[in-house]
Structure 1
Amino acid sequence: MEKQKDDFRKSLNSVQNWPQGARDDFVLHALDCSAIVAITDTRGRILSVNSRFEEISGYTRQELIGNDHRMLRSKQHDKKFFRQMYRTIASGNVWHGEICNRRQDGSLYWVDTTIVPHVSETGKVTSYVAIRFDITARKQAENHLKSSRQKLQKVVNTDFLTKISNRLHFSHILRRTLRASTASHICLALLDVDTFKTINDTSGHDSGDRLLRKIAEKLQAFENENCFIARIGGDEFAVLMTGETPSLFETVLLNILKQMRFSLRHRTVTHACTVSIGYVCVPLSGAREKVLLKCADLALYAAKTGGRNRVREYHPAMEEKLDLAARLRRRVQTGLRDQSIKVFYQPIFSLSVPGRISFEALLHWDHPQHKVLSPQYFPEVFEDHSLTMTLNTFMTHKVMEDMSKLREQNVRFERIAINITSCDFENTDFFRKLDSLAEGMNVPLTSLALEITENVFSRPHHQQVERELDTLHRKGVQISLDDFGTGFASLTHLKTITFDYVKINRAFVAGLERHGTDAAIIRGVIDIVHSLGRKVVAEGIRSASQVRALLEMECDFVQGDFLCEAVPVMDIPAALEKIRYKALL
């Protein structure tokens, strides 16, 4: 290494010892061999070029000299770029940078350029010498690397299924918006598909994927510079908006909600698709990522528990309600463990055949502060699907156990009715489990009844529910339409659903003696149900006069606290003895 340094010093010294003219000629020759050189006047007209300039530009010396240097422009640089360059060299300063030029054949090339102004003795710039080195290969490699990075970045930021932005990209855009946006307000909305699990379970994952792609496609129609769309997980999407008019955010979300109502067909099954949307809108200054996500999630939860297929804006009361519901659910879970959650039974009496009795199983909570509570006092618990399923499973097991106790007590009964919620229908093997449990506990299915509210049939998977109910009905389980008259499309259900009983809601029974309208409705329901060969149960009986009025209307069964309150299984014999002292007929 030292020897090479010495050789270089000797060579340099030898050149420096040459006569001035020889040394200048040598430097110019070396420059001409390695660099692309051109001389222009102050107006940009080419005065001289070397052979390397001809080679890289594709023009001959005759075609170049006398022409404006602008003939090589590639349009890859804006006016500001050249304005700054000319300002530098016109003031007598050297400019250095990278320029993209265009060859005669139209192809582009890049040169690392140094422009040196020639300044006269009077201080005036008279010409420019431009010395360039070809860096096209390097720029192409850089562009290739940049393109590869961009493609990789796109893959990293794109959801593989829907081809829209994913959660990672959403988080990046949200943080950048909070940091750099100049808008006055920000809106974060979370969108959840109401029907996704049902479609996946009944029509397969291909149909679920098709649903997600269709939703993403519809959402993209709303995307613009102020509205960002992303799929952030499973069947959940995010909509991020900024703007000066907060009231417009809800308008956009309502339009999105409307566009998300469509049908998806799979073979012979048509699914009605809807979404739930929760959002939060706040001034951009002071907004925080985690707070926005939490508030939007609470609003989404409110939209789903409020009936789905709707838009809900965040309100602080939602957080208070959620905390209360969470505490309540924890207490109920504790109640299941310490057996303060119990199953009570309320008799259902026949008005046409005295002594013919069935029971409805009802959950009760032996609450430490409020004595015994029925489910109407803790409805928030049933907003949790998992806990609802746990409670329903507990009730079903307990009912089948208590059937044996009733037989031991010589209590004669026809059936025990169990209330079934929409959560049960989300699990496609519910009825198989019910059949298997009954067989394992030696309980005949003919001693069971299922009470189902009408809103179950307003859900998108109602066709599946109807088919499974029909299967159980053929095995001997009775089906009762509970709270009839308060649900959705009641008369349609009478025509399309397999059922044995209709239970008239207590709200109509309460007005039986005061309002002629309620009496007319009850009479009409009884006549319609009887014409279909089915029976009617009136619940919520509070007086003997109500019983007599229903008897006159030929109602089949009655149930209510006036006749007998719900009691634990061991208290049923004593409770039935007291019935003898009440004049039912």
Structure 2
Amino acid sequence: MHRGQLNYFLHQTQIAGHISGRDVAKRVATAMMMVMVCYLAGFERAALITGAIVIAIECTTYPLNKRASQFDKPLGVMLATAVFALNWATTLPFLAFSVILSNSDNLPFILAGYLWIFGILVHISNTFGQLPFYNWSQMMPAFGTTFWMFENLSTNPAHQSSNLEWAVVAALCVVYIVNTFDTMNRQKDTNRALERAREEANLRLMELERLSRYDALTDLMNRRAFDEIVESLMRQHADKLGVTVFLMDLDGFKPINDSYSHSAGDAVLCTIAQRLRKLVGKDGHVARLGGDEFAVVKTDFMTSEQAKHFGEYLLAVIDRPIPFEQKMLQVSASIGIARQGADTADLATLMSGADQAMFSAKNDANHDAVIFDKAAFPVRASLDDRKVLVDAMRNGEIVPFYQPKIALESKRIIGFEALSRWQHPERGILSPAAFLPQINELGLQGEFTLHTAERVLSDLDDLVRDGLDPGQVSINVSETTLATVSGHNDLLAQIDLYPHLRRHLTFEITEDIFIARSSDIIQRSIANFREAGVRISLDDFGTGFASFQHLKDLEFDELKLDTGFVRDLGVDPAAHVLVEGLLTIGEGLGVVVVAEGVETPQQEQMLTEMGCSIVQGYLYGMAAPISETKLRLTVEGYRYPADHQRQHGAFNDVAVSRPLVVQAASNGP
């Protein structure tokens, strides 16, 4: 026998041994039932002898079948041959019951014999259909027994018939045999098709699993897979060197996408991925966590110095130029490092530490790799801190204060900027610097923006009801609100509650929205707010990432010069040149320019000479609560004209029109 066929036979024998050993009780029980049937049919001696043979063979075969079915142990040829022979021999006494009953003169017993052999044929084909050696070896004697039964019947005087009639029965039996063979072959074909379908389904499931765990662009692990690997390595190396995580964020990647296309950005990401994979080798794992953020985990650093040295090497590798379409592209990176230890004993704290270290590296002038040290880093906000902040907003402790904006020509108030303060029950009034970092860290920017808008609109409603004109009131709107459908819709819904106040609202956004990955969504949100009648102001202009292309693409009504430019007026000649240039840009774009941070008469004078029309700063007043703001507007006579109140009313002016920025700047309250 060929070696391949021999292995196939041995494999089938193990499966057959498992099946036969499993079904012993059922076979013995049915054999005893047939002993009783044969006994009732008058064949007492033959029934008892056949039953005894069945029990003897089953007792002999059972231990061999159990041994053969042990898949973890090799099966010898001699043992397999013995199992095959005994399983074949076991079939014969079972077939004998049908032969015995075919000698009966009683039709019901004859039918019982045929039903019995039919059951044996079905059992063999269903049980051993995938085991050809066992299937055919047992099917052939079963078919031969069927013809033996016909022979017994044809010679029995009680059932005399013509040869032609018995020939018809024999022909039908042949048809049955042929059909059985064909059905079994087709069943094999069906099983093969099902197996192929299972294999294809498994391949698709494996592909889906891969897609869920690997980044499609770089073929690196994604965050989910990386977290699982890191967590597993932390368990394995807890008593050894521990694991070290390197978290990397590319610097200068967004301008490449904007200037050279997304194809260039993809080329950069793929090249960085290849470099990191090659550098790390088999001793570590690399992942792309999302966007332009990568991560590496290694387990072979004994000291922090070794980890930091490797981090610096990573920086050098990332910093190498990347060729793309006859150009040389270049990015750098900020790398944060965290090592497994007492303060970073689980995945969450380890990754949080690496994230804090990376943030520190971004703010480092030298852009060195930074290792997390809990003692040297500020305590991160917790879920308890989140609850405190949410409760503070819900309880009305965080409220807007209002700093006036002044028209230089008339020295009159033309509006306010809403600046949040926390009226803490124990610590007094807290400035934004005391709680805004936690709001950003805890991801509460959207909730905070909506809360501020609700309070500002409520305050404005009170002012308008009292006949006071607050002018244009600015609210700082977070990137989260602009970049998410829920944030955008919630804010629009809040505005819709006060349609008569739309013309009083200005939303301030900062230049850093231009580096947001969802900048297209943000631009659509801004356009929707302008269509709703809200003015848009670009805050801290000149300090962020805005380019002239962005200024052309984005629709806005106001530019706010950063405090740093105003503070240096009269001190740094460059500040004078820059402010004049920015004022010229604003005039060319047809938008109002507001100078923030005016604190001295000299600054005011210089801004007046340069043509600045609107200013804001401590020289004109600090941010004050709504009660003081209302008093100031009342005392200084900032009321709607009587004819305006009669014609429009504080509550019926719901017309929404595109803000006319120049008019808003020139008209006093």
Report the Cα distance in structure 2 between the residues aligned to 1:401 and 1:293, rounded to whole angstroms: 40
**For residues 433 and 334 of structure 1, do their structure 2 counterparts lie closer, same or farther at Cα, with a shift above 3 Å needed?**
closer
Distance 1:530 1:421 in 2: 27
Describe how 1:365-384 pairs up with structure 2 within 5 A: 365-368=422-425, 370-384=427-441
1:439: which partner in 2?
496
Q: Equivalents in 1 of 2:498, 2:405: separation in Å?
A: 24
The answer to whether the Cα contact below 8 Å between 1:406 and 1:569 also exists between their aligned partners in 2 is: no
Counterpart-to-counterpart distance in 1, 2:289 and 2:582:
48
Partners of 2:571 and 2:251 in 1: CA distance: 41
Q: Deviations over 1:315-348 (max 9, x none)?
A: 3347852346777555433422332211111221
Matches within 5 A, 1:309-320: 313-317=370-374
Name 2:311's counterpart in structure 1.
Answer: 250
CA-based RMSD: 4.8
Which deviates more, 498-507 or 305-314? 305-314
Partners of 2:331 and 2:308 in 1: CA distance: 27
- From 273, 279, 285, the equivalent of 2:337 is 279
The structural deviation recorded for 1:381 is 1.8
What is the distance in 1 between the residues matched to 2:516 and 2:617? 29
Cα offset, 1:518, TM superposition: 2.0
Contact 1:275 1:308 in 2 (8 A): no
Which residue is equivalent to 1:298?
353
Aligned to 1:224, the other structure's residue is in SS state helix
1:455 and 1:210 mapped to 2: Cα distance?
A: 25
Any idea what SS the aligned residue of 1:372 has?
A: strand
The residue identity in structure 2 corresponding to 1:254 is L
Listed one character per residue, the Cα deviations across residues 134-158 of structure 1 (whole Å, up to 9, x for unaligned) are xxxxxxxxxxxxxx9xx99x979x7
Structure 2: 5+ residue stretches without partners: 1-55, 61-76, 80-198, 253-265, 325-329, 638-669
Q: Once the 2 structures are TM-superposed, how far is the Cα of residue 417 of structure 1 from its aligned partner?
A: 1.0
Alignment match, 1:415: 472
Counterparts of 2:392 and 2:251 in 1: how far apart (Å)?
Answer: 31
Distance 2:431 2:343 in 1: 41
Report how far residue 496 of structure 1 moved: 3.2
The yes-or-no answer on 1:515 pairing with 2:576 is no
Aligned to 2:395: 338
Q: CA deviation at 1:470?
A: 2.6
The aligned residue for residue 428 of structure 1 is 485
Output the amino acid matched with 2:354.
Answer: A
Call closer, same or farther: CA 1:404–1:277 in 2, change over 3 Å: same
**By how many angstroms is 1:252 displaced?**
4.9
CA shift in 2, pair 1:172/1:425, >3 Å: same
Distance in 1 between the 2:292 and 2:604 partners? 50
Structure 2 counterpart of 1:246, which letter?
Answer: A
Is residue 558 of structure 2 the alignment partner of residue 505 of structure 1?
A: no
* SS of aligned partner of 1:321: coil
The aligned counterpart of 1:455 is 512
**Partner-residue secondary structure (3-state), 1:565:** coil
**Deviation larger for 254-263 or 463-472:** 254-263
Aligned partner letter, 1:250: G
Are residues 1:390 and 2:447 paired? yes
How far apart, in 1, do the equivalents of 2:375 and 2:558 lie?
Answer: 38
CA distance in 2 between partners of 1:305 and 1:456 (Å): 21
CA gap 1:574/1:319 in 2 versus in 1, 3 angstroms: same
Q: Give the distance between the partners of 1:391 and 1:174, measured in 2 at CA.
A: 37
State the Cα distance separating 1:555 from its structure 2 match.
0.7
User: For residue 239 of structure 1, what is the aligned residue in structure 2?
Assistant: 296
Query: Is the 2:248–2:358 Cα contact (8 Å) retained in structure 1?
Result: no
Retained in 2: the 8 A contact 1:230–1:239? yes
Task: Report the CA distance between 1:453 and its aligned residue.
Answer: 1.0
Label 1:261 to 1:416 Cα distance change in 2 as closer, same or farther (>3 A): farther
Identity level (%): 26
- Compared CA separation, residues 318 and 324, structure 1 to 2 (3 A): farther
Question: Which stretch has the larger CA shift, 528-537 or 567-576?
Answer: 567-576
Whether 2:622 is the aligned partner of 1:561: answer no
- Would the aligned equivalents of 2:234 and 2:243 in 1 still touch at CA under 8 Å? no
Query: What is the rounded CA distance, in whole Å, between the counterparts of 2:404 and 2:289 in structure 1?
Result: 50
Closer/same/farther in 2, CA of residues 305 and 218 from structure 1, 3 Å limit: same
Structure 1 length as normaliser, TM-score?
A: 0.58
Tell me the CA shift for residue 405 of structure 1: 0.5
- Deviation at 1:482? 0.8
Task: Verify the 8 A CA contact 1:260 1:274 in the aligned structure 2.
Answer: no
Going from structure 1 to structure 2, the CA distance change for 1:292 and 1:405 (only over 3 Å counts) comes to closer
Q: 1:343 to 1:256 in 2, by over 3 A?
A: farther
Tell me what 1:364 maps to: 421
Residues 393 and 289 (structure 1), Cα distance of their counterparts in 2 relative to 1, 3 Å cut? closer
Contact 1:502–1:535, Cα closer than 8 Å, also in 2: yes
Distance 2:323 2:442 in 1: 25
SS at match of 1:225: helix
Whole-Å Cα distance in 2 between the matches of residues 281 and 376 of structure 1?
A: 31
Find the residue that maps to 1:246 and give its secondary structure: helix
d(CA) in 2 for partners of 1:386, 1:334: 15
1:464 is matched with 521
Task: Tell me the secondary structure at the aligned position of residue 282 of structure 2.
Answer: coil
- From the CA coordinates, give the structure whose radius of gyration is larger: 2
1:436 positional shift:
2.6
Does the alignment pair 1:347 with 2:392?
Answer: no
Say how many residue pairs are matched. Answer: 411
> What are the superposed Cα offsets for residues 526-573 of structure 1, whole Å, 9 maximum, x if unpaired?
122112222111112223333232222221111122212212222213
Q: Which residue of 2 aligns with 1:74?
A: none
Matched to 1:532, the amino acid is L
- Residue 395 of structure 1 and its aligned partner are, at CA, apart by 0.6
Distance 1:340 1:171, change over 3 A: closer
In 2, Cα distance between equivalents of 1:579 and 1:542: 22
In the TM superposition, 1:323-334 aligns within 5 A as 323=380, 329-334=386-391
- The 1:251/1:379 distance shift into structure 2, 3 A limit, reads same
Partner of residue 538 from structure 2, selected from 472, 477, 481: 481
Q: Deviations over 1:200-230 (max 9, x none)?
A: xxxxxxxxx9999999777544442322346
Q: Secondary structure of 2:444's partner? A: helix
TM-superposed CA distance for 1:577, in Å, is 6.5
Structure 1: state its 5+ residue gaps: 8-32, 36-147, 196-208, 264-271, 581-585
Give SS of 1:339's match: coil
> 1:454-495: per-residue Cα shift (whole Å, max 9, x none)?
111122322332233233224332111111121124545433
Task: Specify the SS of the correspondent of 2:555.
Answer: coil
CA contact (8 A) 2:343 2:374 kept: no
Q: CA deviation at 1:295?
A: 3.0
d(CA) in 2 for partners of 1:517 and 1:185?
52
SS at match of 1:386: coil
